[in-house]
Structure 1
Amino acid sequence: MKNILYLHAGAEMYGADKVLLELLKGLDKSQYNPIVVLPNDGVLVNALREEGITTEVIPYPILRRKFFNPKGILDYSSSYIKYSKEIIKLVANTKIDLIHVNTTAVLEGIYLKKQLKAPIVWHIHEILLKPKFMYHLLNFLIGKCSDTIVVVSEAVKAHVCQSKFVNPEKVKVIYNGINNQEFHPKNETEYLRNELHIPHDSVIVGMIGRVNAWKGQGDFLSAVEPILAKYDDVYALMVGGVFEGEEWRMEELKSKVAQSSNKERIIIQDFRKDTPNIHNLFDIFILPSTNPDPLPTVVLESMASGKPVISYNHGGAMEMVREDVNGLFSKAGVPSGITSNIELLLDDSKLREKMGRNSAERQATLFSLVSYVKNFQDLYDCF
């Protein structure tokens, strides 16, 4: 049996958190023993423990922008060494056969690789565009220290392989998979309409994503404002929380909504645990990310829920959505293109329903949970 140590950047339940949970739930426990160490407590900790998966919390530092200054560098360095040693103590009585590092923001695997004498599978979920020095530094570290680099899409592979520090032969694409039994068109929505005061004959356009610098809530608002002005029966819904210390982003977003003449039909919700139901509540799903989104889990969830997807034409979405089959693309950074595509689907309910059916079929065929778990187990068997 292989003992695999997993390190991740948080304990919430957004995209990378969810796919890690599904991987660990799906592993053949007679062959692989997962040991998870997370930097903070949260819903992911509880979800893993409920599955009987060994999960510990050690507050090791995660690479964030707040460390990009002289004091931050000192704080990060001292915490890095201190808590890396604590992880080693935690697994001192267990022979670790493999370290799975989930996301580029976790660098502790580098220290642990040397001390535990275990290979690293580095699982990259991000497309880091800036700051440039961080792109080069991370690719240097990942290229030098990882034994295999797993990326979530061809878009991420192309971005990583632009670096002279990464050997393309070490890079393997494994598409994320989700449980399409959890996300499907039969999920309950009645209570949501009542809770959010949305009439039953309304059409709902929505997005789910953390409120940060690039998930595109501002572009979403710009795109839906003309729609709300033209269609009285359309509601816009945004779901997602913020990183600790960035609460100002949510306040800024709420302030923008408050200034809208259609504010009564624009709803903002913090992070919720009932996202399968939220996805089914939507009639049209929007991915307005202003930076290329590597392989957004929310798109897979929306597809499994039988919804058409409208996205900017960059990132992993272009591998998930087929133009005019299960969704529509518009030029990146141009919200008016999203507006036009929303209007097209609002005016043609049959097209909307057809694309929704195609979404569900495409997700089940190409992005299944079974293939996702099998691909990782096959990779683990190479070590």
Structure 2
Amino acid sequence: MKTILYLHAGAEMYGADKILLELTTGLDKKKFQPVVVLPAEGILKDKLEQAGITVCVIPYPILRRKYFNPHGVINYISNYKEQTNEIISYLKKNNIKVDLIHVNTLAVLEGIRLKKKLNVPLYWHVHEIITHPQIVNKFLCWCVNRYADQVIAVSGPVKKHLVKYGVNSNKIKVIHNGIDSNIFSPSVNSDYLYKEWNVSKNAVKVGMIGRVNGWKGQNDFLDALVPLLSEFDNLYLFIVGSAFQGQEWRVKDLKKKINSLPNHNRIIFSEFRKDNYAVEHFFDILVLPSTSPDPLPTVVLESMGCGRAIIGYEHGGITEMIKDGYNGKLVTPGDKVALRKAVKTCLSHNEYVKLGKNSRIRLVNQYSLKKFIGNFMKVYSEH
């Protein structure tokens, strides 16, 4: 049996968090023993423990913007060494002999030191396409190329980006994420949301789900789609998501903008929820307006599982997930007028119903959870 040490950047329940949960709980436990070390308490830790996964919280530093200054660099280096020593102490204390390290994000560099100290292979699972700041992108790609024994990219565009910035293509395998199509399904009951959000039963619902940050595109979503509220009396818009700790001002600004808009009574904002399977089922159309390339957005897979049409900007992983005209529509990144027209076309002719049915078919055939976990077990077995 191989013991795999997993390192991650948080303990929430967004895309990469969900993928880590699915992977560790889905492994064949006769062959693989997952041990997860997280930097903070949170819902991910609770769910891992409920699934019987060995999990520990050690507050190792995560590469964030707060460290991008001289004082921050000093703090990062000091905490980095101290907390990796804590991880080693935890493993020794619990007699855990690690065979392989799986780092689940570019924001976690602790795997580099642990690889050397434990003398085991490092697998780097890359969920990001970093476009700025370029100095950080180049540094991280150098780290991946220098220290990773195996790189797992979540999509072809992620691999292409890594290779462009110096990562050896022979090190990289593409393994698309998968989701449980029994949980994210057309048979989900989401009717309770009509009452919770005071939405009429004849409403057409268009929404987005994502972290409230500088690139997920909440402003593009509003700028593009609010004019449609005047054209479709039964249209409601939804934005679901929270900000990183310390960036709560982003949510405050977003709420202020929504309240200033015409027909804002038909714009629903909700911070992060635990029932995304119902929210995604509730929407008729999911919009992905990310202004930077989204590597392989889990929310798109989940909405496909629920049988929903997807409309988004044509860059990043969505270009592999959505066949334009088959299960959704893709438009030029940043073109809010084109985004509006794509949504309007779907609404005007009820095209979203057909696209949604095709989404479900595509999800089941290409992005199953069984295929995702099987691919990882095969890769783990190669070392």
TM-score of Structure 1 vs Structure 2, range by shorter chain: over 0.9
Structure 1, unaligned runs of 5 or more: none
How many residues were matched structurally? 381
Q: Which residue of 1 aligns with 2:21?
A: 21
Q: Which residue of 2 aligns with 1:203?
A: 204
**Structure-1 separation of matches of 2:26 and 2:375:** 11
Structure 2, unaligned runs of 5 or more: none
Q: Which residue of 2 aligns with 1:266?
A: 267
Identity over aligned pairs, percent: 48
**Structure-1 separation of matches of 2:330 and 2:29:** 41
Q: Which residue of 2 aligns with 1:277?
A: 278
Q: Give the superposition deviation at 1:188.
A: 1.5
Secondary structure at the residue paired with 1:13? coil
Structure 1 residue 130 and structure 2 residue 123: aligned? no
Q: Which residue of 2 aligns with 1:98?
A: 100
Q: Which residue of 1 aligns with 2:150?
A: 148
* Cα offsets for 1:191-216 (capped at 9, x unmatched): 11101000001100000001001000
**Structure-1 separation of matches of 2:227 and 2:332:** 18
Q: Give the superposition deviation at 1:338.
A: 1.0
Aligned positions of 1:295-314 closer than 5 A: 295-314=296-315
Aligned positions of 1:61-210 closer than 5 A: 61-92=61-92, 93-164=95-166, 166-210=167-211
Q: Which residue of 2 aligns with 1:381?
A: 381
Q: Give the superposition deviation at 1:186.
A: 1.6
Which amino acid counterpart does residue 153 of structure 2 have in structure 1? V
Secondary structure at the residue paired with 1:264? helix
Cα RMSD after superposing both structures? 0.6
Secondary structure at the residue paired with 2:164? coil
Structure 1 residue 326 and structure 2 residue 337: aligned? no
Q: Which residue of 2 aligns with 1:2?
A: 2
* Cα offsets for 1:247-275 (capped at 9, x unmatched): 00001111110110111011110000000
The TM-score, its normalising length taken from structure 1, stands at 0.99
**Structure-2 separation of matches of 1:301 and 1:336:** 26
**Structure-1 separation of matches of 2:281 and 2:169:** 39
Secondary structure at the residue paired with 1:373? helix
Which amino acid counterpart does residue 292 of structure 1 have in structure 2? P
**Structure-2 separation of matches of 1:130 and 1:356:** 34
Q: Give the superposition deviation at 1:25.
A: 1.1
Structure 1 residue 49 and structure 2 residue 49: aligned? yes
Which amino acid counterpart does residue 109 of structure 1 have in structure 2? G
Q: Give the superposition deviation at 1:226.
A: 1.1
User: Higher mean Cα deviation, 187-196 or 316-325?
Assistant: 187-196
**Structure-1 separation of matches of 2:96 and 2:185:** 40
User: Higher mean Cα deviation, 70-79 or 101-110?
Assistant: 70-79
Q: Which residue of 2 aligns with 1:236?
A: 237
